[in-house]
Amino acid sequence: MNRNNVSYVDAISEATAQEMAYDPSVIVFGLDVDDHKAIQGTTKGLLAKFGPDRVFGTPLSEDAMTGAAIGMAMCGLRPIHVHIRMDFMMLAMNQLVNIAAKAHYMYGGQIRLPMVVRSMIGKSWGQGAQHSQGLYSFFMHVPGLKVVAPTTPFDAKGCLISAIRDNNPVIYVEHRILHFQKGPVPEELYEVGPGKARITAAGSDITLVGISHMQIECLRAKHYLQEKGINAEVIDPIWLSPLDVDTIAASVRKTGHLLVVDNDWPTCGASAEIMAAVTERLQGEMRFTVHRMGFANTSCPPTPSLEYLFYPNGRTVAAKAFDILKGSAQNWLPNERPDLKEIEFRGPF
């Protein structure tokens, strides 16, 4: 394996296999984790290596299986529960919000719940209203849950290892499109721990915070903005809860402008939280502006013409940033560059 070109998918399966070898209390389950497709390959090889007691497909029972993960954690296991689509986690909200998030506190510290809930956000090729939602802000809202949405293969591995070793419930969010990302991933075990954002591209004119797949769009936007002589700084928060406000605020202190691009609706979302946190930190200290982009305020339409409009992309992010810096609508939209073309998931399934 070329360690400089490891896929996001392989980074997840490698992290899981290594942690399972390292710690016999780690187990993986969820609908289809043990089938021939192995959750897009992210659980590939685990069944053969660790057997059906530690790697098993489940009934389509998100509520009970999430509750079971909690019970397993109470019994000293470190379960990883996998959802093929994040939308199905809505069926598990009671267990996650009422027990997982609260158990350690509500039971006076007698119980701790080391558990990971993995889920995927879909996009493109007609995923539609119920295969496309990035609902991580629901979990950011609740004390007692940690939320992570890694973007790169390096972070996918490091964050998963960190999540597995954490003694608290961690909601681990993958974007289906990010599964196609490739990059350097060390073979050894390492952690990318909670509460630390990463500056993915240094700049001085505006701060772009891109969450999950929108991190890729922000990096594209940076290239487009260079055509206008604008040097954007791009930040990947990686962990949404706990959130690294320090790194983002320090960047805005330098650039004076914040644009958060979320893979979710703006209202009450992660973008709202990041804007509010930065504003609380910097208000009264300096003049600055805060802005955000996210899903259109509709359900996600599957038809490609409307779906294209539903999401921010590198070009629309660049256009918004340009307007922000100019202080008014400039009607500039960069021409699509082939080298920055968006990756799309192509069907048929």
Angle at 99 between CA 114 and CA 68, to 5 degrees: 65
Measured in degrees and rounded to the nearest 5, phi and psi for residue 28 equal -130, 130
Total residues contacting another protein by CB under 8 A comes to: 43
Q: Is 95 in the site for another protein (CB under 8 A)?
A: yes
Of 82 and 209, which CB lies nearer to another protein in the complex structure? Answer: 82
Cβ 258 to another protein shortest distance, Å: 28
By the 10 Å C-beta count (0-12 exposed, 13-18 middle, 19+ buried), 48 is classed as exposed
Please report, in angstroms and rounded to a whole number, the separation of the first and last CA atoms in the chain.
27
Among 9, 38, 70, 160, binds another protein (CB under 8 A): 70
* CA 133/CA 89 separation, integer angstroms: 11
98-106, 254-262, 319-327, 329-337 -> range binding another protein (CB under 8 A): 98-106
93-101, 200-208, 243-251, 324-332 -> range binding another protein (CB under 8 A): 93-101
Cβ 112 to another protein shortest distance, Å: 4
Q: Is 94 in the site for another protein (CB under 8 A)?
A: yes
Among 5, 22, 49, 107, binds another protein (CB under 8 A): 107
Q: Residue 229 — left, alpha, or beta (φ > 0 → left; ψ -120 to 50 → alpha)?
A: left
Catalytic status, residue 342? no
255-279 CB burial, b ≥16 within 10 A, e <16: bbbbbbbbbbbbeebbbbbbbebbe
Of 110 and 305, which CB lies nearer to another protein in the complex structure? Answer: 110
Q: Is 31 in the site for another protein (CB under 8 A)?
A: no
42-50, 61-69, 284-292, 308-316 -> range binding another protein (CB under 8 A): 61-69
Catalytic status, residue 223? no
Q: Residue 215 corresponds to which tokens in the numbers above?
A: 């991190």
* CA 19/CA 17 separation, integer angstroms: 6
Choose among 120, 130, 40: nearest CA to 81. 120
As beta bridge partners, residue 234 has 201, 208
Q: Is 170 in the site for another protein (CB under 8 A)?
A: no
Of 100 and 225, which CB lies nearer to another protein in the complex structure? Answer: 100
* CA 81/CA 29 separation, integer angstroms: 5
Q: Residue 55 corresponds to which tokens in the numbers above?
A: 């790697």
Options 83, 131, 179, 213, the catalytic residue? 131
DSSP H or E run through 249: helix 245-255
Which residue type does 146 have?
K
Residues 144-163 that bind another protein (CB under 8 A): 144, 146
1-9, 67-75, 246-254, 309-317 -> range binding another protein (CB under 8 A): 67-75
* CA 147/CA 159 separation, integer angstroms: 10
Q: Is 113 in the site for another protein (CB under 8 A)?
A: yes
As beta bridge partners, residue 170 has 116, 146
Cβ 44 to another protein shortest distance, Å: 22
Of 45 and 57, which CB lies nearer to another protein in the complex structure? Answer: 57
Cβ 89 to another protein shortest distance, Å: 15
Q: Residue 349 contacts by C-beta under 8 Å, 6 or more apart in sequence?
A: none
Q: Is 68 in the site for another protein (CB under 8 A)?
A: yes
104-112, 177-185, 199-207, 309-317 -> range binding another protein (CB under 8 A): 104-112
Catalytic residues: 62, 131
Q: Which residues bind another protein (CB under 8 A)?
A: 27, 53-54, 58-59, 61, 63-77, 79, 94-95, 98-99, 103-114, 143-144, 146, 167-168
